[in-house]
Amino acid sequence: MKRNFKYLLGLAFITISATVSTQAQGNKEYQEQYRPQVHFSPKQHWINDPNGMVYFNHTYHLFFQYYPKDIVWGPMHWGHAESKDLIHWKQLPIALYPDSLGYIFSGSAVVDSNNTSGFGKKGKIPLVAIFTHHDPKGEKEGKDNFQNESLAYSLDNGTTWTKYSGNPVLKNPGIKDFRDPKVMWYARQKKWVMTLATKDHITFYSATDLKNWKKESEFGLTEGAHGGVWECPDLFPLKLNGKTYWVLIVNLNPGGPNGGSATQYFIGQFNGSKFTPMDTQTRWLDYGPDEYAGITWGNTGNRKIFLGWMSNWEYANQVPTEKWRNAMTIPRELSLKQVKSGIVIASTPVKELSGIHTQNVLLKNVQVNKTLDLSPKVNGFKGQYILKLNMVQLKGYTIKLSNKRAEELLIGYNAAKGEYFIDRTKAGKTDFQKNFAGRFTAPRLSTAKSSDITLVIDKASVEVFADGGLSTMTAIYFPNADLSDLSITSTDKLNISGLALTGLQSIWK
Ligand code: FRU
């Protein structure tokens, strides 16, 4: 991680009582300028990575790196929110507080249905969290073993948590960056597999009881992108044409394709012990600047649902929000697709998003020779909507979101270069960090003649899913007034066979 944990070491451990009530959400809260209306953000204070994402008893749990005292990164807690539909979130009291072993860094949670851990009591299935204890004292003293893996369990659906008395369960062998355990059940060998980020590679461990971990193998020293530290990994199977492949997600900071933090992944095979990639390509799950630490929910059957933190360590601590800082992406369903360059992941917003669709404007066979002004059609949408275009033949185009102050966000396709782009150079406030203003690109991976693009637009963010989600980009922006105007420009006689504009209802009302 680029930002330094060290400058915060002077801060004492804090134990504060939960400040977030489980009711009283919505209404006046969640109304600030830049407050996402269709994405999860904390009621107040700082968040980063999604943690412990698990589906249990018809509920999606979302824990997250949380500092409940300020809007900058600080001693980490696990905040908690839950949802029945992946779209409406209810923020709950803090799940895990720092303790004598350190801050509570990122990790995962599993449903221990067979009570392998022995934490279950009276037939209650334990939810077990596996997280990194980051000891700021050890770090300050220049030790190399200040990150260790620990457990906590809950017997009441994730509401309250007890830390395991035998923590840590996996001790650091002397690697400074030794963190972010993602644990899954490997049914074939009846064991848990932990995927751990260990500085510049991944180390796999296994255990039958979640407590006694044995090293299995290492991966990645010579594979993938290495512009920064490897963090927040994930490992899971996905099928394509009846065949199972294993996806290994590795978040990287810095070193992303558009600067700073980003999510890379590998596709290959995993045999319970070792991951073998199918090729040497570096793949990116999202090319935009603002999707990081993305991983998937556990216990969702054949569905693989991904969520990332919608920011970038380059400026996450400086973005101009006042009461709260940072939000999560829309949950996305992942699938594998075969393209010319190999097998890749396609991401699409989860189907549950349709639960907040409001009015729909549909246009058919629209020719864009110059500029098509859609502003009157989106005026009623209050800045949160989906734009979807289908094109029988892909040509260059620019979608512009703008306001009367000449601030504009540009999204489009550059046909000469074969790439999608987001340009936020003139989209409002950018001076809080030198790398914020910029133009970001993603290669087009599809070779089809036809194309589609879906934009999920919120108050201050856009997520771009092009060609069925083969090229995905996320960016945040901070205009001085809402970007409530919308137009599409093309000088190439772009024929849009279908154009849909769909309003989205705020999730906080
Ligand atoms: C990734 C990360 C993790 C770490 C956490 C600390 O954004 O650096 O590696 O566990 O944030 O908040």
Amino acid at 483: L
Is 49 annotated in the active site? yes
Look up the pTM and report it.
0.95
372-422 per-position pLDDT tens digit: 999 999 998 989 999 999 999 999 999 999 999 999 999 999 999 999 999
132 ligand 1 Cβ < 6 A: yes
Give the separation between CA 148 and CA 132, rounded to whole angstroms. Answer: 5
- Ligand 1: centre distance to CA 487 (Å): 38
What is the atom index within ligand 1 of the atom nearest the CA of 261?
7
Q: Is the CB of 105 under 6 A from ligand 1?
A: yes
Looking at the CA of residue 313, tell me the nearest atom of ligand 1: 7
Cα–Cα distance list, 354 to 90, 287, 309, 351, 394 (Å): 19, 25, 22, 6, 26
pLDDT tens-place string over residues 334-353 = 999 999 999 999 999 999 99
Task: Give yes or no for a contact between 155 and 120, defined as CB atoms under 8 angstroms apart.
Answer: yes
Give the span between the Cα atoms of 474 and 424, in whole angstroms.
11
Residue 105 alpha carbon to ligand 1 centre in Å:
6
48 in ligand 1 pocket by Cβ < 6 Å?
yes
Contacts of 352 (CB under 8 A, 6+ apart): 85, 86, 87, 331
Among 441, 439, 470, 461, which Cα is nearest to 330's? 461
The gap between the terminal CA atoms of the chain, to the nearest Å, is 36
* Neighbouring residues of 464: CB distance < 8 A, sequence distance ≥ 6: 288, 411, 420, 422, 442, 453, 454, 455, 471, 472, 473, 474
* Domains in the chain: ranges and CATH: 5-349 (2.115.10.20), 352-504 (2.60.120.560)
Per-residue pLDDT of 448-485, as tens digits, reads 999 999 999 999 999 999 999 999 999 999 999 999 99
Residue 355 CA to residue 502 CA, distance in Å, equals: 12
Specify the pLDDT at position 27. Answer: 52
**For residue 5, is pLDDT > 60?**
no
What are the tens digits of pLDDT across the range 83-115?
999 999 999 999 999 999 999 999 999 999 999
Distance from Cα 484 to the centre of ligand 1, integer Å: 35
Ligand 1 atom showing the smallest separation from residue 229 Cα: 9
User: CA 106, CA 97: separation in Å to the nearest integer?
Assistant: 13
